[in-house]
Structure 1
Amino acid sequence: MRWFFILSGVIACAGQPVSSSCPVQMSPPSVVVRFGDSFSVNCSSSSDQIQSMGLETMYGSTKTTGLSYVTITIESATDWNIVVMCYINRVVDGQCLETLPVTVYKTPDRVSISQPSLEGPLVEGNQYSIQCDIVNVAPVSNLSVHWHKGDTVSSTERFDGSSVSPVNVTSVFNLTAQRGDDGTQIWCEAQLDFSGQVPNLTTIKSESRDVIVLYSPTFMEPKNVTLELPARGKFTLDCAAAGKPTPVYSWQFPHSIQRTNRNENQSSLAPSIQLPGTYRCTASNSQGSKAKYFTVTEATRNRTTFAALVGGFVFLGVVIFIAGLFLFPAELPSLFKLDFSLALLHRRLSAENNMGINFLKWILTLCMFHLVSGEGCSLILKPSRVVVGFGEPVSVSCEAARPVRVLGWESAISAAHTQQELSVQWKVDSLIDWIEEPICYGVFFTAPRQCEEKLNLVLYKTPDSVSIRPVNHTGPMVEGKEYQLLCEVQNIAPVQYLTLRWYKGQTEVYKHSFAELTSSSPVQVSSVLMVTPTKAENGAQYRCVAELELGPEGPRPPPTVTSEPLNASVYFPPTFLSPEPEVLDLVVGAEITLNCTATGNPTPMYSWQSSNPNEERMEDEAALTSPSLLPGTYTCTASNALEKKSKQFVVKAKTKGV
């Protein structure tokens, strides 16, 4: 209102209308000034028709006559909406003016991170929302917030807004904790950007927060190892792993040395008794456990030497056999007659040459021993994969396909073994150990003398809760704007089998899987759905469903937990059922109805106006029904919190019967 009077005064002084095009130049062409600082403006014109010119501000004005320039200085910019106008009064074309853009800024009083979750350790794979609060900054449309993680800028948020006075704003950074984040620092900084008009403008930073991430162990050398038992000297098994908290180590040894060589909580092992077999190292902490296997084999036997020995014995046997034929030629025809019957050969050698038959028996024994020494490890788990709910019972059988000296289960709970049977059972009445990894082992009479099979065990737990809520928004949504819906799942395992399904009504609109995560113990995860609502979605219900797809061995149908529905309330401006103007004929004495019904949320309010000054006051209803309406134009306005819309009805007089 104040500027209306100033502008009116400028026009009144000249007595001339204001031109839309004005030959003036403002220096500088725009002003960016800190709140409370001073600035100067010069206005000049190249026109030779100037009678007078001046500068008008809320802080005062200045005017010159006969000059082509004028200057004004504002000592202290203490208003957030400053207008500076330069005008000239010309001999011929009257008055014209230009307005100088002035931006008054203020850096934030404080920038801070307010997120309680950063006060304690984070868990790898979980998502955290970190909030940066910026207090008392202006103008918000020039504000950027940069999120730093270590030496990199991880996210930048720019703000939209029309407010020129100071406001408080918030920026949210969503962080999915990774082990690489452990030990880094996170902070945010607020910066006002005026495209170089204010050089060296101070950036306001928050305090830094140290990030601590808990993660499950990972071996420095992740692959399982196979090595040959050295003929002389000792071997060392390296099981070093990285993890937070620091991993604790445990070792499981081949059965024959289990009770004589225990080394707990060591990342490397140099057994005092050097024997072949499978050694298992487990690195574990509060976030999970990982196992690594070392297979130590016996040195490969020299097959060339073995073949030479067998060949020598065969040659010696043949020599003895031929010598017997020469010593006893009388028997030669009968030998051919009986086609070298093995029975006659056996009797002859038994009677005359016991030494030869003994050689042949010994050679046969060696050959048979060589054939059986290469049998594979034959352990069969029934079933080979087990899916069991947290706290439920489980039972698995391990069977040996060849004679076994000892058969057993290695397990943190319910270990078992047998020395008589070809089958042994692992059974737990209530399984509640998230790092349980049962292994069936066998010690056999023939090589390989020791081997093992690990049970594929999946322990699952349905979530404690599944909930859905808007992100950084409360109340109804507005048609055409973009919003985020957040689905949070509490305490679910194993997360890699989880699928989150988003539904609008009965229609699936988005699916989110977590196959890249590896935690076996319960975790918290979330999913974000982007929505841009329309008026047709007013009253729609959104929900998310957490589904554990555990494979063919899992329960059917897969276990699911569904969130409470989120009812979407969508605001949209009024829309007339029939938006076009209507022309109606008015018959004297007949009742007429003007229907202005419109849809909208919130429900529209109605008002009526008539072009006829004699029209009586009309009700604020959607439909106007009356026998006493006068001819003329009626304008109906439907309005709600978002917008106003109008519709016209033209009522024409018509004589009865015409």
Structure 2
Amino acid sequence: MKRGSERGVVSERSVRRLYVCICGMTSVPFSFVRSVEFWSWFRMAVCVLPVVLVVMGVYVDYTHTADRCSILTVSNDSLLVEYGEPVKVNCSIPSEPSSVYKLGWESQILPVQTDSETSLVWTSPNLTEWEVNGREMFCYLSVPNTEQCKRKVHLTLYKRPDSVNISSESSVWSEGQMMKLKCEIENVGPLQNLTVQWTRVDQNNITTVTEMPYGSFSTSGEERKNGNVTSTLTVSASRDEDDVQYQCAALLRLDQLQQPQVGSSEPLNITVRYKPIITQPSKGIPNSVIKGNKLVLNCSAHGNPSPQYSWSSPGNKNLTTSSIIISSVQSEDQGQYSCTAYNDEGSDSMNVTVNVLEHPHTTNLSSESSMWSEGQMMKLKCEIKNTGPVQNLTVQWTRVDQNKNRTVTEMPYRRFSISEKQKGSMDVTSTLTVLASHDEDGVQYQCAALLKLEQLQQPQVGSSEPLNITVRYKPIITQPSKGIPNSVIKGNKLVLNCSAHGNPSPQYSWSSPGNKNLTTSSIIISSVQSEDQGQYSCTAYNDEGSDSMNVTVNVLEHPHTTKLSSESSVWSEGQMMKLKCEIKNTGPVQNLTVQWTRVDQNKNRTVTEMPYRRFSISEKQKGSMDVTSTLTVSASRDEDGVQYQCAALLKLEQLQQPQVGSSEPLNITVRYKPTITQPSSGTISLTQGDQLVLNCSAHGNPSPQYSWNSPGNKNLTISSIFISSVQSEDQGQYICTAYNDEGSDSLTVVVNVAVEYKLIIIIIAVCAVVGVVLIIGFWYYRHTQNKWRNLASHRNNDNIALSDDIAGQS
């Protein structure tokens, strides 16, 4: 009991302490605190209130810290300052914090600055401390009991060079030497960001840039500070370096420096002395010139100093000029010429061989005969007089046919005969053998002498007159074509033309059915009849021979009727149906094709052709006959509404329009069971209160009817279901059935209805608010009741005292 009573004392004492903390500022009596109702409401408040307070506290602390650090700003977080220039950075906050704070600047190389204002400026009138490079400074905001906020500022100091100079070991270079160029850069920094740029510009203004980064040149200071720099470039002295211009520059590679070049030297012009190299005339190429023409030999060379020239020519003639000019070259001027170019550095020589040529006096083309006969081998002879050198001679044969097509054949040295074998002028004969054929008739031949020398701009130095060829040959019939029958509809016009090529021009004769003979090139029958059918023969002839050609004429009749029919007027899906096309009085059947045309509801056209041997014939002969063609079709829904038609085609080259008979169109009707096209099977997810629309549609013939089976075994004979506000009891399977006399089709749709959680959250929130109001109302009610009880108690006590006083008095 003692231990239990102690527990009771402790419990009551704890409750009283809690009562003082919670209700000390109110007039709630302690008796209510000890009641069961109070503890029920208290437990609810204790469970909910800490969670709310913790969430609010974390949110407030997070947003407060983030907002506090975001207000700290600096005017520039990265500064590039030129040596000796002023610098200023402002650190600020928009307003003073509610508690004590300190705004300051902190750096490893500069004294700490602090202030309690909303803005603090770090400044330097002329920044010269190189120690700022590579170091960072911070602006900070300190508030007691909170994490310090910082803003980092990166500061870079740089200096342009006092001077940039370029120099060479020697003012004049000699070819083959290795020369050094030196670039001296004075007082520049920071050295670690320095690059020495060498620029070379040649005589053609082509620029070449070479960059040497830090570490590839000598320096006199620390890498983060300023100092002097010497960079060396080694160049091989060659003729390509003559008149080249060099320049060096100092580049500071700093992110914020828009123009990295901070200093540049004056250009340095290079002069290189080298011996001459002859560029003209070309080595080893002979120079040929026609006798009597002008000869010009130019000698030019590159060298420094500028070269002088001397020539040696045939007959030991020496000249001290760069050019030799002979106004009228003669045979004695032929031979070797030598040019020498020289200066103080050396010399170069070049030999040129000059060949003096003579024009051919004549170039004559002739044939064995003025008239050729087909099949002979004929020779054309081209005679070229007084030409050379023959090793450079080519005879060119040109053939031009009647259509102006040009064919060129060249015969080089060793393919023609020469009158004497020497390098001087001589006579040449070239022969071309030609097979005399009708293709050579009217052809024109020509020959020419070509001297292929580089010094001659035009290699042709002599050409013959054109020679026209005439070939006699027997006729060759070109029309009509061999073996192709000529078919014509009875009563139409028949025209047979016979034409042939031949020299002399051919004459013509015709033989026709009934042994009729005609001496004309054409046969014309204005209205052809059955007796005109048969074989016609054309003969073309001249003095060289003859040629014949046979033509078979078929007289055709139009088909009297072309009829299309079906086994049944209405088809059912799945049946194999036959369409029959009957063609009366047509032929010849070996040239007949039955064409089936199918046109669907979308006007898409499909054509199927059935050739001879795929249809039945009433009698087997080459005249007119009856034909029946059958097309088997699978009755499907795709055939419903389709239109079929058949036609008789006589495919003969002589008929411009092969179709000679066509049936009337036949419309097809197919009955088939429905196929549901809408809706798609699957699951529909809705939220309670949403609208539900289910439309059922199907294709079928006859047109289908519809029924719906919905949750709760509700059956509807409509095509659509509409529910304006769906509820949980509307959830489940909906089955649509489409049916007609041919069959039916069904489709299932599953509808899921979800509860709106936003509504639940709102209800919980409303209940929570109502609960708080009830607690306050209950507390107020009990508080008012206690007041009235106390007042009534005092009144009773007063009445008792008054009664005692009255009794005492009595």
Q: Give the TM-score of the pair, scaled to structure 2.
A: 0.32
Between structure 1 and structure 2, the one with the greater Rg is 2
Q: Give the TM-score of the pair, scaled to structure 1.
A: 0.38
